[in-house]
């Protein structure tokens, strides 16, 4: 009894310590913030004449100048020291690798929290144990990656200091009040993660388990705040605020952080990280599935792959909408920036992005259709899959149609202009919005089929429910495509608003049809068990494809977001005068992104291998699993 | 058969009303007219 009470006390103290760690940076930052506010007062003592005021470039408020102007750099060893290699490419590589690992280690603990919570609230004890094991497997993968993230962060800072000292000096002078907060948050994140991981076995029951779960919440709050702070730097570089037109800091750190693009970037990155993390864990599970020697292992990794994929896709579905919001804010901030992105210099990269998004959804659907094969009773859906393939392909082809094509003069003449007389009509946003919404709605439909694959509803109104669901999906398609066609007949200023009801239609399918399906399937008759592990190898390659496509797309989008600043370090404030202040060709960018993707996957395979060294194998159970239940975990901890 | 037709009609009417409302009100909330083409 005394031991248990001691454990409880220790756990509560550990939790309080974590909360303390979370608050510590804020407490430490107060004098720093105050210093910024005090500085003008000191200046005031010397006389009003010395106080210089500036106007915020974004908020248009007046503030007292407390910082130096942005340096006017010149190409030379002082501002741009270099090796015999393009500095930008080195920085690109260091940045991208740090981002990949950072995204992964921020996303996986969120999955872990969700799965651990599912384990805590589920009433089935066997299932709870499996969820708990899965959550542990997830955090174990991220732990080794976490160390590598920190190392890559160090490499990134040294790369900045070595190759771009003037720019980094300016950026750190602007963000000085929060730089140490970032560092302390990182310490807090590390401490919390290690206590959370190593306390797993000690805090596995009752009240202690809830404390452990609370730790995961704090861990994720710290991780999210870390990401928000990092986002404020890129937000400032794209859409500076809190400084005057010379780039002088005006003493309000909140203005510097809360730039025009900060919130859209935050939302976009959270969703992107989650989808990416899900993809990487799903690929890990797929690799382990393919390498498994026993049915138990195959069943476990099949289940793990499915959960990771489902979580990843749950965040992938709203991701295009968050991207749309970000683009809208970019247009609202600087129309020219939006045009450079989507209608000018970088437009072709968006065609590649559309292709990658299409591949992500096609892979997801393919996996789900393959997964129907491990359910008895799901055969009834197989004959309809060809129709979904047709709809998906149509949506995909419209979505990737470019507005204009690079052509020789002879080709141009033969076609009669920049746009193809028929296909050219699809290369506009009205059609593309329709295309992507059709793709997402079809993915939702595939999920609904998967959820009811081996079940038959027993509710008295099942017939009406099925008909209603069919009509809802049917009319959703009609509405999405109808709005896309309608867009051709109305002026641009009205047309631009049509995307909102299109998105709402897709989200209605997601929320209402999932809810309706769940109600209908409550207490449903099972046609047979889900035979975990009895899935084609092809499906696992689809998971690997999903993860690779996502990694590639993240690299691409990062490049696009960064390139839109063109020849500015900080947009319209600090000019990039290095010899690399130009936009690379699409081919070079694609090769660089591919190299980054390849490097990430090779290094993460090494991380997975390192992680597998510590696994103690649980004894293989000869008995078959409970029908319909999840498989037994393959490893113990 | 008759019951199925009733279910289909009811479902179509409900869904049609819902999507029309979504289109109208979400355009209206942006200060835009969904029925622009009809009014013109």
A599 three-state secondary structure = helix
Mention every residue, 6+ apart, whose C-beta is less than 8 A from residue A634.
A292, A296, A297, A300, A301, A617, A618
Distance CA A369, CA A48 (A): 73
CA distance to partner chain B, nearest, from residue A464 (Å):
6
DSSP A294-355: SHHHHHHHHHHHHHHHHHHHHHHTTHHHHHHHHHHHHHHH-HHHHHHHHTSTTHHHHHHHHH
CA-nearest residue to A494 within chain B is B32
Chain A residues in contact with B11 (beta carbon < 8 A): 464, 467-468, 470-472
pLDDT value for A634: 43
Mention every residue, 6+ apart, whose C-beta is less than 8 A from residue A410.
none
B7 touches A: beta carbon within 8 Å: yes
CA distance to partner chain B, nearest, from residue A532 (Å):
36
Residue B26 sits in which domain range?
A: 2-39
CA distance to partner chain B, nearest, from residue A377 (Å):
24
The packing angle between helices A165-174 and A125-163, to 10°, is 120
pLDDT value for A26: 65
Choose among A474, A479, A497: nearest Cβ to B27.
A497
pLDDT value for A206: 82
Q: How many CB pairs lie under 8 A apart between chains A and B?
A: 63
Distance CA A258, CA A364 (A): 36
If one counts the domains in chain B, the total is 1
Distance CA A208, CA A216 (A): 13
Distance CA A203, CA A210 (A): 8
Cβ–Cβ below 8 Å for A505 and B14? no
pLDDT value for A608: 84
* Residue of A433, A474, A475, A491 to mutate, testing the B interface (most B Cβ within 10 Å of its Cβ): A475
Chain A residues in contact with B8 (beta carbon < 8 A): 467, 471
Mention every residue, 6+ apart, whose C-beta is less than 8 A from residue A379.
none
**Low-confidence residues of chain A, pLDDT below 70?**
1-4, 7, 21-22, 24-49, 614-637
Cβ pair A571, A239 in contact under 8 A: yes
Mention every residue, 6+ apart, whose C-beta is less than 8 A from residue A178.
A29, A229, A232, A253, A257
Distance CA A512, CA A436 (A): 19
Task: Extract the tokens encoding A384.
Answer: 């309809």
Cβ pair A263, A304 in contact under 8 A: no
CA distance to partner chain B, nearest, from residue A418 (Å):
29
Interface of A with B (CB under 8 A): 463-464, 467-468, 470-472, 474-476, 478-479, 483, 486, 489-491, 493-494, 497-498, 500-501, 504-505, 508
Choose among B18, B22, B30: nearest Cβ to A497.
B30
Choose among B11, B14, B22: nearest Cβ to A504.
B22
Distance CA A166, CA A578 (A): 11
List b or e across A153-184, with b for residues whose CB sees 16 or more CB atoms inside 10 angstroms. bebbeebbeebbbbbbebbeebbebbbebbeb
Chain A residues in contact with B17 (beta carbon < 8 A): none
ipTM here: 0.97
Burial class of residue A611 (count of CB atoms within 10 Å of its CB; 0-12, 13-18, 19+): middle
Chain B residues in contact with A471 (beta carbon < 8 A): 8, 11-12, 15
């Amino acid at each position: 009894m005394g031991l248990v009470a001691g454990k409880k006390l220790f756990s509560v103290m550990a939790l309080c310590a974590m909360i303390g760690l979370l608050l510590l940076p804020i407490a430490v930052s107060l004098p720093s913030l105050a210093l910024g506010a005090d500085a003008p007062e000191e200046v005031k003592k010397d006389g009003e004449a010395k106080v210089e005021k500036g106007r915020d470039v974004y908020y248009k408020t007046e503030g007292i100048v407390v910082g130096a102007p942005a340096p006017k750099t010149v190409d030379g060893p002082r501002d741009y020291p270099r090796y015999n290699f393009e500095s930008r490419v080195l920085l690109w590589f260091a940045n991208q690798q740090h981002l990949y690992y950072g995204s992964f280690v921020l996303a996986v603990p969120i999955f872990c929290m969700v799965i651990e919570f599912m384990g805590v609230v589920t009433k089935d004890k066997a299932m709870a144990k499996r969820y708990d094991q899965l959550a542990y497997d997830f955090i174990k993968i991220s732990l080794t990656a976490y160390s590598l993230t920190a190392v890559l962060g160090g490499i990134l800072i040294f790369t900045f200091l070595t190759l771009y000292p003037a720019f980094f000096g300016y950026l750190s002078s602007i963000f000085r009040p929060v730089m140490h907060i970032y560092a302390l948050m990182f310490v807090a994140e590390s401490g919390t993660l290690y206590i959370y991981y190593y306390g797993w076995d000690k805090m596995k029951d009752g009240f202690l388990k809830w404390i452990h779960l609370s730790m995961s919440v704090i861990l994720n709050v710290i991780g999210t705040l870390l990401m928000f702070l990092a986002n404020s730097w890129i937000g400032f570089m794209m859409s500076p605020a809190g400084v005057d037109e010379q780039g002088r800091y005006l003493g309000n750190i909140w203005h510097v952080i809360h730039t025009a693009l900060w919130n859209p970037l935050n939302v976009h990155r959270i969703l992107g990280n989650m989808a990416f993390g899900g993809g990487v864990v799903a690929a890990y599970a797929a690799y382990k599935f393919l390498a498994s020697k026993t049915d138990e292992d195959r069943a476990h990794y099949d289940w793990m792959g499915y959960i990771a994929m489902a979580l990843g896709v749950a965040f992938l579905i709203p991701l295009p909408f968050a991207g749309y919001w970000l683009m809208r804010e970019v247009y609202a901030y600087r129309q020219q920036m939006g045009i450079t992105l989507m209608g000018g210099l970088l437009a072709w990269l968006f065609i590649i992005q559309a292709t990658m998004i299409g591949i992500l959804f096609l892979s997801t659907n393919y996996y789900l259709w393959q997964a129907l094969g491990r359910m008895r009773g799901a055969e009834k859906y197989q004959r309809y899959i060809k129709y979904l393939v047709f709809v998906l392909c149509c949506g995909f082809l419209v979505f990737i149609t470019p507005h204009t094509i690079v052509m020789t003069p002879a080709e141009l003449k033969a076609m009669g202009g920049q746009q193809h007389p028929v296909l050219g009509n699809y290369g506009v946003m009205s059609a593309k919005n329709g295309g992507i919404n059709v793709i997402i709605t079809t993915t939702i439909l595939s999920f609904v089929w998967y959820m009811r694959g081996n079940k038959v509803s027993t509710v008295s109104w099942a017939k009406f429910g099925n008909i209603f669901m069919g009509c809802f999906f049917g009319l959703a398609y009609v509405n999405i495509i109808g709005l896309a066609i309608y867009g051709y007949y109305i002026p641009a200023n009205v047309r631009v608003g049509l995307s909102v009801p299109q998105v709402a239609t897709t989200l209605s399918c997601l929320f209402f049809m999932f809810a309706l399906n769940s109600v209908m399937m409550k207490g449903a008759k099972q046609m047979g068990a889900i035979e975990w592990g009895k899935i084609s190898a092809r499906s696992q390659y689809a998971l690997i494809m999903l993860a690779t496509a996502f990694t590639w797309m993240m690299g691409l989008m990062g490049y696009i977001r960064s390139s839109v600043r063109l020849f500015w370090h900080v947009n319209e404030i600090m000019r990039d005068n290095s010899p690399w202040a130009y936009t690379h060709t699409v081919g070079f960018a694609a090769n660089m992104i591919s190299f980054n993707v390849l490097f990430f996957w090779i290094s993460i395979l090494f991380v997975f291998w390192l992680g597998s060294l510590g696994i103690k194998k649980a004894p293989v159970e000869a008995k078959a699993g409970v029908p319909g239940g999840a498989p037994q975990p393959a490893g113990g901890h | 058969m008759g019951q199925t037709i009733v279910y289909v009609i009811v479902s179509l009417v409900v869904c049609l009303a819902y999507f029309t409302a979504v289109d109208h009100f979400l355009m209206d909330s942006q200060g835009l007219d969904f029925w622009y083409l009809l009014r013109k």
